[in-house]
Structure 1
Amino acid sequence: MKKASNKDIDEAWIDWALEMIHAGYESDNLYILAGISGPYNQFELQKLTDKVLVDFDLCYEDKLQVMRNYIYYLISSTKSEPSKYLSTLKEIKDICIDLDMEKEYMDFYLLYYAKDELNESEVQWYWDGADRTNIDIIIRNAFQDYLDKMVR
């Protein structure tokens, strides 16, 4: 996702490389990426991550599809963990902003602000009917709806 957005390569990429190795993926470039430590040289890391993506035939040219896949991954990996809802929503909210307020992600944008507001006060104005007692259920249902839509 970060590659499609032209973001800097950071420690999240190193973590990803380590996860890939633990999952059984192998390539010389992946091992090199997993072993890098800061400070990061963006020029070298951009070239290295390109090589890793080529090694595994991962295409990132279709930015919208990459974003959909990444959001699907985020949601599916945190759907059952309400303690991670706010951070997941924040990441999707940031993607929504990067994509000029893409309509497909506006519900998550609004849910982020509703959840964030409810962490600080009793009332929020972003999601009709949401309060501290039901916000996690609303988020879980929105996550499930998104996953269901993506599978169709």
Structure 2
Amino acid sequence: MKLVESTYEIIAWKYLNQSVDEKWSARAVEMMLVGFDTEHLVELAGIEKPYNQFELKELTDKVFEELNLNFTNQDKVVIDYVTYLAKEVLNDKRDLLKTLREIKDLYIAFDYDSQIYDFYSLYFAKEDLNYDTVQWYWNGADRNNIDQICKDYLKEWINKHEIG
């Protein structure tokens, strides 16, 4: 069975050791709706506050084992998650600037991973152009073309790194 693409988000969260909360539960429900059905995935789908992170870390470890999900390869985690985010933006499911900010934060969290440096630059170019008429992060970008430059770059990224 093919993974739900939002699973790449959970894999990134697991790699970054982020706290388990209702977002994880929502992703578990998505997976169940397309046919994944394991004991621990059902348990994850039903988590409620207050969250005990020690128990939930063990639970997510079991879910990852049951579903044979690997989160140990940073390059794969980065590529798959950024590709997922790029598709979400191009399908109008996520805001462009917020997503660029998220990838900019990933760039830092992943120890300044050079493969996503351009997203960092695009974020600051777009952010600067929200407040000023010039920016120094992306050659040739201005208020009239920054959105198209960003979308073209997202398409280029997807074509180069298609999840599959």
TM exceeds 0.5? yes
Give yes or no for contact 1:80–1:140 (8 Å, CA) kept in 2: no
Unpaired segments ≥5 residues, structure 1: none
Give yes or no for contact 1:82–1:136 (8 Å, CA) kept in 2: no
Distance 1:82-1:132 versus aligned 2 partners, 3 A rule: farther
Helix, strand or coil at the partner of 1:58: coil
Q: Residue type of the partner of 2:118?
A: D
TM-score w.r.t. structure 1 length? 0.90
Distance 1:53-1:125 versus aligned 2 partners, 3 A rule: same
Give yes or no for contact 2:89–2:96 (8 Å, CA) kept in 1: yes
Unpaired segments ≥5 residues, structure 2: 1-11
* Runs of 4+ more than 6 Å apart: none
State the partner residue of 1:144.
Answer: 155
Among candidates 4, 8, 11, match of residue 19 of structure 2: 8
State the partner residue of 2:60.
Answer: 49
Distance 1:48-1:82 versus aligned 2 partners, 3 A rule: closer
Q: CA RMSD in A?
A: 1.9
Query: What is the alpha-carbon distance in structure 2 between the residues aligned to residue 73 and residue 11 of structure 1?
Result: 20
State the partner residue of 2:125.
Answer: 114
Please tell me whether residue 81 in structure 1 is matched to residue 123 in structure 2.
Answer: no
1:84 deviation in Å? Answer: 1.2
State the partner residue of 2:80.
Answer: 69
Give yes or no for contact 2:25–2:44 (8 Å, CA) kept in 1: yes
Among candidates 22, 32, 47, match of residue 21 of structure 1: 32
Give yes or no for contact 1:17–1:30 (8 Å, CA) kept in 2: yes
